[in-house]
Amino acid sequence: MPFVALGLVADLARAVAAQGYTAPTPIQSQAIPMILAGRDLLAAAQTGTGKTAAFTLPLLQRLQLDQNRALPPGRPRALVLTPTRELAAQIADSVRVYGHHLAPRTALLVGGVSMGPQLDALRRRVDVLVATPGRLLDHLSQKTVSLAGVEILVLDEGDRMLDLGFLPAIRRLLALLPKRRQTLLFSATFAEPIRELAGDFLRDPAVIDIAPRNAAADRVEQQVHPVDSERKAALLSHLLSAGERDATLVFTRTKHGADRLSRQLERDGIRTAALHGNKSQSARTRALDDFKQGRIQVLVATDIAARGLDIVQLPRVVNYELPHVPEDYVHRIGRTGRAGRTGLAISLVSVDENSRLRDIQRLLGHPLPSSVVEGFAPSDGRRSPAPATPASGARRHPTHRAGPPPGERPASSSPRWSARPETGSGDSSRRRHPSYPPRRAATTGDRI
Ligand code: AMP
């Protein structure tokens, strides 16, 4: 189905065609007509499903941008709120790309950078404002921006906003918006707090649930390597140096852990940068840019990078440590296997992480294939399996063993870095979609 069949004007259809999109994704097919019709929307869709275009295209059309219309400066007509600066910057870029022929005026308000250019932008007319909650509140307190003219509000990555403790800020911001407006809430899950938020702030929303049918993890081959925790860095260097030196996003649990590992990999001759919440915005932008441009091979990141980042050419993700919250595993591995490509997600799992692995496998509904890398077998007494309590029908996978039982894939000394169909056991279960049971994620606080 072409984009124009969804009701989009030719200028927008031309812009998406220029991006090489031939057909709308499922979230786009469902959301665009609803948004064009003026409905509020509650949509469960992960990043990677095309959700940015799903809200940006109809939003631009509804604004009926008329560049000659005199509007007061610093009074946006559409507001997009996102949890992280990187995501906000990406969305602002997308607004410019999709709005190429309509030329919307876009402003980006995020923390960690100086106020000057933001104040300049707010002294002019603003059609679409993309912001993170904290910096937007700063501007509001200084009265440099007014939300009184907002016609459309987009809350992106709603569940992440709540995880990061933005609920009070969101409530304050919503109180400053006109009551008559269109509100679009996107979230990877429909967990209870999201439903509460929707109940409070959305009017008779259309509900779209794309996540179960469109999980990025579906195209991602997953592999667990059991290893002693003190040998993880050596194993990672070994894996990164073997075969092709493709770009790899590595996740750690803490900021210090990310810095430490990044230094270690540099010492091993692997070009690396770290990305986390303690870095200045310019360092974060530079690291991401270097990674996207291939100037560094490895980006070591905390979960701040797990959602929202769109790095199309990312063949591999490594969980150096498993995440605090099982749902973050799905978001992390969703950084690869995007835009129709396949990807590989490796998890280095030490014995103290067995319970996290179990939680992840429970969330996925199946066990993950596991193999020991030769030379990195966990020491004796550290081979206890992490039974997955799999959903009925899922086959069980042995984990944390030094060698394979008869008939299973042997431990590999040259781990596979290319994503190709899994030949070992676990193939059928790997293709199952992750489910998103409504559960409250732990607050990750300041660690990331
Ligand atoms: P998003 O979920 O918005 O982060 O989008 C994920 C990726 O999909 C981005 O690289 C988009 O450029 C790409 N994309 C969005 N819509 C389409 C489409 N209809 N066809 C092909 N790629 C798309």
Residue extents of the structural domains in the chain = 3-209, 220-379+404-432
User: Closest residue (by CA) to atom 11 of ligand 1?
Assistant: 50
User: Is beta strand 78-81 parallel, antiparallel or unpaired with respect to 152-155?
Assistant: parallel
Class level of CATH domain 220-379+404-432: alpha beta
Q: Please count the other Cβ atoms lying within 10 Å of the Cβ belonging to residue 357.
A: 28
Paired with 128 in beta bridges are 78, 106
Q: Is 315 in the pocket of ligand 1 (CB under 6 A)?
A: no
Q: How many angstroms is it from 13 CA to the middle of ligand 1?
A: 14
400-423 pLDDT tens trace = 333 333 333 333 333 344 332 222
225-234 pLDDT tens trace = 999 999 999 9
Q: Is 368 in the pocket of ligand 1 (CB under 6 A)?
A: no
Q: How far is CA 136 from the centre of its chain?
A: 22
The confidence score (pLDDT) of residue 34 equals 96
Mean pLDDT of the chain: 81
DSSP states along 118-174: HHHHHTS--SEEEE-HHHHHHHHHTTS---TT--EEEE-SHHHHHHTT-HHHHHHHH
Q: Please list, residue by residue across 178-215, b when 16 or more beta carbons sit within 10 angstroms of its beta carbon and e when fewer do.
A: eeebbbbbbbbbbbebbeebbeebbeebbebbbbeebb
CA distance 99 to 56: 8
Q: Does the structure show a pLDDT above 70 at 305? A: no
User: Closest residue (by CA) to atom 18 of ligand 1?
Assistant: 21
User: Would you state the structure tokens that stand for residue 57, as one six-digit string?
Assistant: 């295209």
Q: Does the structure show a pLDDT above 90 at 89? A: yes
**pLDDT band for position 147 (cuts 50, 70, 90):** very high
Average pLDDT for 70-82: 92
Asked whether the beta carbons of 268 and 320 are under 8 A apart, the reply is no
Indicate which atom in ligand 1 lies nearest the CA of residue 19.
12
**pLDDT band for position 308 (cuts 50, 70, 90):** low
Q: Does the structure show a pLDDT above 90 at 180? A: yes
Q: Pocket of ligand 1, candidates 25, 49, 307: which has the most ligand atoms within 8 Å of its Cβ, to mutate? A: 25
The confidence score (pLDDT) of residue 432 equals 28
Q: How many angstroms is it from 353 CA to the middle of ligand 1?
A: 34
User: Would you state the structure tokens that stand for residue 343, as one six-digit string?
Assistant: 């990807």
Q: Does the structure show a pLDDT above 50 at 258? A: yes
DSSP 347: E
CA distance 3 to 50: 13
**pLDDT band for position 196 (cuts 50, 70, 90):** confident
Q: Is 50 in the pocket of ligand 1 (CB under 6 A)?
A: yes
**pLDDT band for position 448 (cuts 50, 70, 90):** low
Q: Is 272 in the pocket of ligand 1 (CB under 6 A)?
A: no
The confidence score (pLDDT) of residue 163 equals 79
Q: Does the structure show a pLDDT above 50 at 392? A: no
**pLDDT band for position 439 (cuts 50, 70, 90):** very low
Asked whether the beta carbons of 431 and 394 are under 8 A apart, the reply is no
Q: Is 21 in the pocket of ligand 1 (CB under 6 A)?
A: yes
CA distance 153 to 77: 9
Of 243-247, 341-345, 357-361, the range with the lowest mean pLDDT is 243-247
CATH ID of 3-209, from 3.30.360.10, 3.40.50.2000, 3.40.50.300, 3.40.140.10: 3.40.50.300
The confidence score (pLDDT) of residue 400 equals 32
Fold agreement between 3-209 and 220-379+404-432: yes
Asked whether the beta carbons of 47 and 334 are under 8 A apart, the reply is yes
Q: Is 56 in the pocket of ligand 1 (CB under 6 A)?
A: no
Q: Does the structure show a pLDDT above 90 at 380? A: no
Asked whether the beta carbons of 287 and 279 are under 8 A apart, the reply is yes
User: Is beta strand 248-251 parallel, antiparallel or unpaired with respect to 316-319?
Assistant: parallel
Q: Pocket of ligand 1, candidates 310, 314, 336: which has the most ligand atoms within 8 Å of its Cβ, to mutate? A: 310
The confidence score (pLDDT) of residue 393 equals 33
- The label of the residue with tokens 């064009």 reads 36
Higher pLDDT, 229 or 341: 229
Q: Does the structure show a pLDDT above 80 at 118? A: yes
The confidence score (pLDDT) of residue 170 equals 95
Average pLDDT for 135-149: 96
The amino acid at 41: L
The confidence score (pLDDT) of residue 342 equals 73
Q: Is the torsion defined by CA of 106, 112, 115, 116 positive or negative?
A: negative
**pLDDT band for position 171 (cuts 50, 70, 90):** very high
Q: How many angstroms is it from 165 CA to the middle of ligand 1?
A: 28
Burial of 69 (0-12, 13-18, 19+ CB in 10 A): exposed
Percentage of residues in the chain having pLDDT higher than 70: 79
Average pLDDT for 145-171: 92
Q: How many angstroms is it from 137 CA to the middle of ligand 1?
A: 30
H/E run at residue 93: helix 85-98
